[in-house]
Amino acid sequence: MSSGDPKRTGRAKGYLQAFLFLLPGLILILLFFLAPVIITAVMGFTNMDYRFQWNFIGLGNFFRMADDFLIPKILINTLVYTFGTLAIFNVTFGLILALLTTSISERVGLFFRALWLLPRFTPPVVYAAIWLWILSPTRNGLLNGLRVAMGLRPIAWISQFPWGVIIITNGIIGASMGMLIFTSAIKAIPRDYLWAARVDGASWFQEVRHIVLPLIRWPLMFITAYQTLSLLTSYEYILLITQGGPFHASEVWSLYAYNKAFSAYAGTYEFGYAAALATVLVLIGTVASIAYWKIFRFREMMAQPRIEVS
């Protein structure tokens, strides 16, 4: 046999092997991540409705989006919701929880962290129902019950503070993710650094500012980026608690797409338009990812592999 350069065939064999190892993962990614995006994008160029016909209408859906008088409102809602929840709860409050529960005795800290995780184990519908009770505009709701007991008039919380409601209800549950990641990051800091800082004269705040925060910089940036993307696409608690109301006041992009596709109040099932909306959201998410990747310089976080694969 006239086989070529043995070095070359060896390398080709190596690539084949690597490919075979990657194949199961690739299939999963293709099937569950890439395929839906492609199908959604293609669907975005049709006017598909409950009859499921692929009638391609070019950029029709995107022109419609540009004319949709609701879109500016939805966009602002989405930005306020995403960055409000992120800044107040998912990063800041998660960080405060992690700092506080690692500064007290281990057992008490663990108790509070477990407490904060409880909503994660609760079915979303139950969690939403509890909030509906707390925020009920009638005097039977928790908050209004308290107001009435103090001689004040009940307030229609959801109508009056739609942004506040969606940020708080999502943030209370969302903070636990950051809390967990930050807690483990803080615990991974060698205690010698913290002891050295204490001997060097640092107060608790100075210790946090000069030692802890710089040393958990990567987890902080990771949670910021990750939670931005997950908040951009999340809508289930908003759907359950405010339905995006009153009159789109708390409706975010992903919920708007959902409503266009599945909700009866939009009239027909506008799968085509909804798919176009979803495609735009995917694009926004992609742009945000790239921006975070550049701004946070995530490449620096990655190390070269220690072993050589030929």
Partner 1 sequence: MASIRLERLTKKFGKVVAVNNLNLEVRDGEFIALLGPSGCGKTTTLLMIAGIYRPTEGNIYFDDVLVNDVAPKDRYVGLVFQSYALYPHMRVYDNIAFPLKLAKVPRKEIDRKVHEVAKLTKIEELLDRMPGQLSGGQQQRVALCRALVKEPEILLLDEPLSNLDARLRIETRAEIKRLQRELGITSILVTHDQVEALTMSERVAVMHQGVLQQYGPPDELYDRPRNLFVASFIGDPPMNLIPVEFKKTDGKPALVTDSFVLPLAEAWGEVLGQMDQGEFTLGIRPEDVRLSTEKEGNALLGEVFLTEPLGGGTLVHFRFGEISFRVLAPREIKVDVGDKLWIIPDQEKLHLFTKDGLSVREVGRQDAH
Q: Are 101 and 113 in contact (CB under 8 A)?
A: yes
Confirm or reject binding of residue 195 to partner 1 (CB under 8 A). Answer: yes
Considering beta carbons, is residue 120 or 200 the nearer one to partner 1? 200
Confirm or reject binding of residue 108 to partner 1 (CB under 8 A). Answer: no
Tell which one of 151, 190, 267, 305 touches partner 1 (CB under 8 A). 190
Q: Are 261 and 269 in contact (CB under 8 A)?
A: yes
Confirm or reject binding of residue 211 to partner 1 (CB under 8 A). Answer: yes
Confirm or reject binding of residue 196 to partner 1 (CB under 8 A). Answer: yes
Considering beta carbons, is residue 14 or 106 the nearer one to partner 1? 106
Confirm or reject binding of residue 103 to partner 1 (CB under 8 A). Answer: no
Tell which one of 67, 192, 300, 308 touches partner 1 (CB under 8 A). 192
- What is the x/- site pattern for partner 1, positions 42-61, by CB under 8 A? --------------------
Closest separation in Å from C-beta 230 to partner 1 = 28
Confirm or reject binding of residue 106 to partner 1 (CB under 8 A). Answer: no
Closest separation in Å from C-beta 93 to partner 1 = 24
Confirm or reject binding of residue 221 to partner 1 (CB under 8 A). Answer: no
Considering beta carbons, is residue 76 or 196 the nearer one to partner 1? 196
DSSP string, the chain: -----HHHHHHHHHHHHHHHHHHHHHHHHIIIIIHHHHHHHHHTTB---TT----B-TTHHHHHHHH-TTHHHHHHHHHHHHHHHIIIIIIIIHHHHHHHHHHS-HHHHHHHHHHHHHHHHS-HHHHHHHHHHHH-SSTTSHHHHHHHHTTPPP--HHHH-HHHHHHHHHHHHHHHHHHHHHHHHHHTS-HHHHHHHHHTT--HHHHIIIIIHHHTHHHHHHHHHHHHHHHHH--HHHHHHTTT-STTTT--HHHHHHHHHH-GGGSS--HHHHHHHHHHHHHHHHHHHHHHHHHTTGGGG----SS---
Counting residues that bind partner 1 (by CB under 8 A) gives 18
How many other CB atoms sit within 10 Å of the CB of residue 101? 23
Confirm or reject binding of residue 198 to partner 1 (CB under 8 A). Answer: yes
Tell which one of 187, 200, 268, 283 touches partner 1 (CB under 8 A). 200
Confirm or reject binding of residue 214 to partner 1 (CB under 8 A). Answer: yes
Confirm or reject binding of residue 206 to partner 1 (CB under 8 A). Answer: yes
Closest separation in Å from C-beta 209 to partner 1 = 11
User: Of 37-45, 81-89, 204-212, 248-256, which segment contacts partner 1 by CB under 8 A?
Assistant: 204-212
Residues near partner 1, by CB under 8 A: 190, 192-193, 195-203, 206, 210-211, 214-215, 217
